[in-house]
Structure 1
Amino acid sequence: MQRRDLLALAAAPLAMPALAQPSWQPDRPIRVIVPFPAGGATDVWARLCAEPMTEMLRVPVLIENRSGAAGMIGADAVAKAAPDGHTLLFTITPLVQSPIVLGNAPYDAIRDFMPIGQMGTTTLIFMIRSEFPPRNLPEFIAFARSQAQAGRGLNLGSWAAGSSAHVFALAMNNQLNLGMTHVAYRGEAPMVTAYLSREVDAGINSLTSTREHIMSGRLRPLAALGDARAGGMPEVPTFIEQGVDVGRGWSGFAGLLGPARMPAAIHARLVEVFRDTMRRETIRQRLLAMDTDPVWLGPEDFGAAILRIRDIWTELTRGMDLQLG
């Protein structure tokens, strides 16, 4: 973590005590921009939060999907919006991943946003179309190699170039010499559609977007990222358990941010409303039902987590040719 980032975080309005500030009340609808298409996990999470936030703020909280450039188009719209609390960003780790991988980012992921809160995390799963014969990761490795040797290499999908889905699947592809070809989509929902239309053979996805297709038998999960199995699908072993060193220690985020330089009273009210949304037992249970771990972090801890992920991602992707896939 660089010293200038620590100083910026410490000086940000999110670190200021807001107890003496008058409570802010929005005077028109609030836009929450989701930088990925409708129907993906990020969109589902944002819409889940919008209803209770609407109730507490007494104005409509409207979700706007603005996808493209691996999430950077929607994020940039928020970075450049007026810091008046009426334009917010609900996003995931590509906020910091995409600028590192793709370069020429129109925003600075640390300095141009004020964290409001983390909603939670989710375990990502490597899966394949179920018409393929492999039943586990070792069988898949042998199958993918045989297909590549026969000139029928598999397609490896991701919801965005430079995303977790891309980087970890590419790490597996390179490490094990599987000969797969990367295909990037503009969000997880289009990627899942590509599975179902047989355009994509394998990839890493959230259970939030794919569980129904796993349960119907159209997709087959083979390995979980991170150090622990997914709570909602504990029968799927991790990569590490299966002898493949991919995803060790990884955990992403899903959360709410606003433009930098929001006044303290506005920021404090948004933190309060989002925190109270995440405290609701109905929200917690719906998140768990969607294979999402409801792990609330306040703005300072969420900001520190974003810095940590930025630094981990910089090191992890060093030397990878991610733009060519």
Structure 2
Amino acid sequence: MQRRHALAWGASTILAAPGLLHAQGAAYPDRPVRFIVPFPAGGGTDTWARMAAEPMQTDLGQPIIIDNRGGAGGMVGTEYAAKVPPDGYQLLFTITTHIQSPVVMGRFPYDPVADFAPIGRLGTTAVNFVVGPKVPASVTTLAEFAAWSRGREVSIANYAPGSTGHAFGLILARELQLNATQVAYRGEAPMLQDILAGTVDGGFHSMAAAGEMVRARRVRPLAASGAQRSPSLPDVPTLVELGYSRRFIFDGFSGLMAPARTPRPIIERLAASFRQASQSPATHERLLRIDTVPAYLGPEDFGSFIATKLREWTEITQELDLRVES
């Protein structure tokens, strides 16, 4: 793994010979482009992917199709994306689970660094611990949730095994001394459905997926991850300010990648389009509306960021014993 990681950006995006931007005489892209999203439709990853895709397809002059392939904490879709032809027509739009799921589940069907050529990071986001109708309406703070949980078994949902939400659920259960069962889903959308149905007590959600239900008061946010309170939830305290682990500061990311060995001119074309889409005022406004901080990074910086996050999450997993049976 370490030797493969060292290959990273430079060796995985081999400089192409002149003309590689032209396939059979037509300029790239000459047909629809596909964003592989390793989670079901309706969740945060799907939402961010569509935000990037809409302006990019105008710039590229071709439709961008969202291909949702959920399963195994994002690893099913990501493994598929690592093996598609490196021609720029099938890309991976993913989130932090890209580096988390393999580490926590102890298996690497893909190398998070060497198997992909980064195109750009869209933004970063915190998640909120929310509860649904299974928890009494009188419970409106984390302290009240902890008190209500005493003497009972609670269920904490997460949108993927090995995800930020899963790790935060484990840490929260330890620090609140809960008798908690962790329940894994194939994405935020099915997880939210079960919270709303009262099947599980609560879990960590992004505002990209749960914002509408929070505003409709169908789920109640009790605390937020991150270093600062969410702009749209100024009355909801962060877990760190409540005195809990600084591990809750770990923020997630979203971004676009291509398979390794995608020709450099194609990466550069996609990177320019992604940068334009990510940095537009309209995209910034849409991101902030769902508590996502616009935080564009270009290919090389995004590649370095991913490698750093992989090392950090490996340390966190070992330190907190977050490994789970896959």
Alpha-carbon displacement from aligned partner over 1:210-267 (angstroms, at most 9, x marks no partner): 1221121111111111221112222211111111115344122100001001111101
The aligned residue for residue 311 of structure 1 is 311
3-state SS of paired residue (1:121) = strand
Alpha-carbon displacement from aligned partner over 1:126-173 (angstroms, at most 9, x marks no partner): 1112552322122222221x2xx2xx3111100011111011110111
Code of the residue aligned with 2:279 in structure 1: it is R
- 2:96 equivalent to 1:82: no
**How far 1:314 moved relative to its partner?**
0.6
Within a 5 Å distance, the mapping from 1:96-245 to structure 2 comes to: 96-129=99-132, 131-132=135-136, 133-144=138-149, 146=150, 149=151, 152-245=152-245
3-state SS of paired residue (2:199) = coil
The alpha-carbon distance between structure 1 residues 163 and 309, as it changes in their structure 2 partners (threshold 3 A), is same
Q: Do the aligned residues in 1 keep the contact of 2:38 with 2:75 (CA within 8 Å)?
A: yes
Q: Do the aligned residues in 2 keep the contact of 1:239 with 1:247 (CA within 8 Å)?
A: no
3-state SS of paired residue (1:31) = strand
Alpha-carbon displacement from aligned partner over 1:33-79 (angstroms, at most 9, x marks no partner): 00000000110111122221111111111101011111011111110
For 1:140 and 1:269, how far apart are their aligned partners in 2? 50
For 1:310 and 1:228, how far apart are their aligned partners in 2? 23
Unaligned residue ranges in structure 1 (runs of 5+): none
- Of 264-273 and 231-240, more deviation after overlay is shown by 231-240
The alpha-carbon distance between structure 1 residues 17 and 272, as it changes in their structure 2 partners (threshold 3 A), is farther
For 1:320 and 1:219, how far apart are their aligned partners in 2? 30
For 1:284 and 1:292, how far apart are their aligned partners in 2? 9
Aligned residues: 319
The alpha-carbon distance between structure 1 residues 233 and 98, as it changes in their structure 2 partners (threshold 3 A), is same
**How far 1:122 moved relative to its partner?**
1.2
For 1:231 and 1:244, how far apart are their aligned partners in 2? 21
The alpha-carbon distance between structure 1 residues 7 and 276, as it changes in their structure 2 partners (threshold 3 A), is same
Q: Do the aligned residues in 1 keep the contact of 2:120 with 2:256 (CA within 8 Å)?
A: yes
The aligned residue for residue 324 of structure 2 is 323
The aligned residue for residue 31 of structure 2 is 28
**How far 1:279 moved relative to its partner?**
2.1
For 2:165 and 2:200, how far apart are their aligned partners in 1? 13
- TM normalised by structure 2 equals 0.91
**How far 1:286 moved relative to its partner?**
1.3
For 1:116 and 1:226, how far apart are their aligned partners in 2? 25
Alpha-carbon displacement from aligned partner over 1:283-322 (angstroms, at most 9, x marks no partner): 1111111221111000111111111111111111115254
Alpha-carbon displacement from aligned partner over 1:70-102 (angstroms, at most 9, x marks no partner): 101111111001110000000001111011111
For 1:167 and 1:248, how far apart are their aligned partners in 2? 9
The aligned residue for residue 298 of structure 2 is 298
For 2:323 and 2:129, how far apart are their aligned partners in 1? 18
The aligned residue for residue 289 of structure 2 is 289
**How far 1:7 moved relative to its partner?**
5.0
| Identity of matched residues, % | 45
Unaligned residue ranges in structure 2 (runs of 5+): none
When the two chains are superposed, the root-mean-square deviation of aligned CA atoms in Å is 2.4
3-state SS of paired residue (1:253) = strand
Code of the residue aligned with 1:33 in structure 2: it is I
For 1:179 and 1:10, how far apart are their aligned partners in 2? 48
Alpha-carbon displacement from aligned partner over 1:3-50 (angstroms, at most 9, x marks no partner): 863453454438x799x9968521211110000000001101111222
Code of the residue aligned with 1:194 in structure 2: it is D
For 2:302 and 2:16, how far apart are their aligned partners in 1? 17
Greater strand share, structure number: 2
For 1:176 and 1:12, how far apart are their aligned partners in 2? 44
3-state SS of paired residue (2:75) = helix
Alpha-carbon displacement from aligned partner over 1:184-213 (angstroms, at most 9, x marks no partner): 000000000011111110111101111221
